[in-house]
Amino acid sequence: MVKEQIIARGVEDKKVIKAMLDIPRHLFVPKEFEKEAYEDYPLPIGFNQTISQPYMVAVMTEYLELKEEDVVLEIGTGSGYQSAILAYLAKKVYTIEREEKLLERAKKILEKLGFDNIKYKCGDGSKGWIDYAPYDKIIVTAAAPKIPEPLIEQLKNNGIIVIPVGSRWIQELVVAKKDEKGNLKIEEKFECAFVPLIGEYGFKNGE
């Protein structure tokens, strides 16, 4: 998986590559999909959610430019696999998931693997998590019509947010960097397709 899907496509960050090698992806997928866990596509995890394609996890993590001392906000815990990669590389991870049962399942897996630097919340991720803001880095693993304003506000100056932005069906992966004065520089990387971010600053149910 790492050699053919990640390194071959240009992911170079050695720390990200090591995290992808060390964390067992099959533990984060439903039993019936374990044999497909390392294949080059997303997999269903229930509640109309998916575990992202391995390459997507790696490239989004690389775009965050994570440092050991970073405090990260993750929107969309999902399977918990991306959370594990973040927690492996950063000081602290705050992760939000709107589906309580998904969050509980992810938390059990992550705690069993020994991750003690993750804090969990069930709620509307589009509003962020003001209690622990500001964050060095923010990653959103669901599609939004635009970057939610609360997330921009909760990002530190010189921080980075990685998020898919567009319609419910197709998006551009966006890397937004906040400069020292708080201005946001937005760069579109490539086309992608994520499940929608449902919430006050995302898509509304039925929209």
Distance CA(6)–CA(77), nearest Å, equals: 22
How many angstroms separate the most distant Cα atoms in the chain?
49
The catalytic position among 52, 79, 83, 126 is: 52
Taking phi over 0 as left and psi of -120 to 50 as alpha, with beta for the rest, 46 belongs to left
Distance CA(90)–CA(97), nearest Å, equals: 19
Distance CA(148)–CA(198), nearest Å, equals: 11
Q: Which residues contact 18 (CB under 8 A, 6 or more apart)?
A: none
Q: Is 126 a catalytic residue?
A: no
What are phi and psi for residue 177, nearest 5 degrees? -115, 130
Residues recognised as catalytic? 52
